[in-house]
Structures are given as C-alpha cells and as structure tokens.
Amino acid sequence: MRKLSPKELGMLVGTMVVGNLAHASEGEEILPVTRLDTMVVTATYSVPPGATFLADTAPPGAGISGSGPRVPPLVDQQHAQRCAAAYGPYALKEGFSVKYANWYMWKERGTSPAVYQRTDGPSPPPGSWDIVLGSTGWPPPPAIGGVVFVYPPGAINMRNHIETLGHEYAHTQGENNETVAEAAGLTTYQNYKAAVGAACGGYR
C-alpha cells in the first residue's frame, strides 16, 4: 500500500478511477445488496493526512440490485440536483461538483483505516463489505473544492437519488456527523414530496 500524493488525490476525487483505497475519516448510512457475479478491479491506496473521503453505505441484504441504467439519464440528474438544492437543509458547497459513477464501490467492514474496493458489477468482493451509495471527497489544504460521487444504488430511483444528494451536500458543508447527514437526506426528500416538487419541476 502506498500513499497518494496531493496531485494524485486531486485526481482521485476528481475522477475516482482507482479501485481500492483507505482513508482518514468516514460517514455511513445503513440500508442492505443482491449478490451477482462480477469482475473485481483491484488497486490499494491510502489517503494522505488532511484529506477526507466520506462514504454513505448500505450493508448486504437491502435488496439493492444492478437493474436499470447504471448512470441516470441527464434529465434525471438535473432534476434531482435542482430538487436537492431547493428542498435540502444544506446546499452543495461552492467549489464542489457532482459526478455519477458507472461502477460500484464497497467499504470493507471492521478495517481501520477503512478499505474500499471498486467492482464492475453489483456483487461484493469476497469477504464482508457494505455497498457505497454516495461519497464526498476532497484533498488536504491548501487545495480547495471536492467531488460528490453518486454510485448506481444511490440513484436507483428518484427518492434514493434526492436523499443521497441531500446527504452528501451536508458533508460538503463540513457536517461529518453521519446521523445529521442521514437526517438531512431524508428531510430533503420529505420536503420535496410535501411540496410535490413545485420548486424544481414537479414530483417524480
């Protein structure tokens, strides 16, 4: 295992093209995952001190499968982002961007620092893993900005999509308490539903 340089970490949170990583701090949201055969991409990294990678996870058994498009259509991405901005208690912090992954990310249970594994399909690697719905990452100072990633299970339907964004937006604003971030995601969706999406193009 080797440490990423600040430049490499910037590339990581900008593109998430690596397969497996360890990090300094994290957050979790719990749901459960259907096992299907998959190819595992392997590469192990550790994130340097000062960097942050917060992962929103769901344990196996939640019934999340890989059915449907891995990356939601652009119109759904735009709708969910507008609605999360309109109805969430937290806005996406300036300097952060939202990206959609067409692969699956997993967090290994019981490891410290935490280990992450990327797979091409929705089956976990051998061992004990939780699936990642969304993540927020940013490099150590003095670098600014960061990336919110939404993985396929985090956008499997509009409710999950809006809740995942609301959750991750809280992290971009520096909220590392997972209970608070989870509540923010739920509140975002509940506000959207109650208003029938009037401020963002309607309820879907």
CA angle 67, 43, 154 (to 5 degrees): 30
19 within domain boundaries? yes
133 within domain boundaries? yes
Q: State the residue range of the domain holding 47.
A: 2-194
Residue pLDDT, tens place only, 41-83: 444 444 556 667 777 776 554 445 444 457 899 999 999 999 9
Cβ(136)–Cβ(80) below 8 Å: no
Lowest mean pLDDT among 6-10, 35-39, 57-61: 35-39
Q: Where are the beta strands (DSSP E) in the chain?
A: 2-3, 20-23, 40-41, 44-46, 52-58, 96-100, 104-108, 114-119, 129-138, 146-150
How confident is residue 165, by pLDDT bands cut at 50, 70 and 90?
very high
With a pLDDT cut of 90, the percent of the chain lying above it is 39
- The rounded distance, in Å, linking the Cα atoms of 26 and 162 is 20
203 within domain boundaries? no
162 within domain boundaries? yes
Comparing 123 with 135, the larger pLDDT belongs to 135
Amino acid code (one letter) for 96 = F
Structure tokens at 81: 């982002």
75 within domain boundaries? yes
Cβ(87)–Cβ(199) below 8 Å: yes
Q: String of b and e for 5-30 (b: at least 16 CB within 10 Å)? A: eeeebbebbeebebbbbbbeebbbbe
Residue 15 has pLDDT above 60, yes or no: no
199 within domain boundaries? no
155 within domain boundaries? yes
Cβ(143)–Cβ(135) below 8 Å: no
CA angle 45, 6, 85 (to 5 degrees): 90
Cβ(27)–Cβ(176) below 8 Å: yes
200 within domain boundaries? no
Number of domains in the chain: 1
Residue 93 has pLDDT above 70, yes or no: yes
Cβ(133)–Cβ(154) below 8 Å: yes
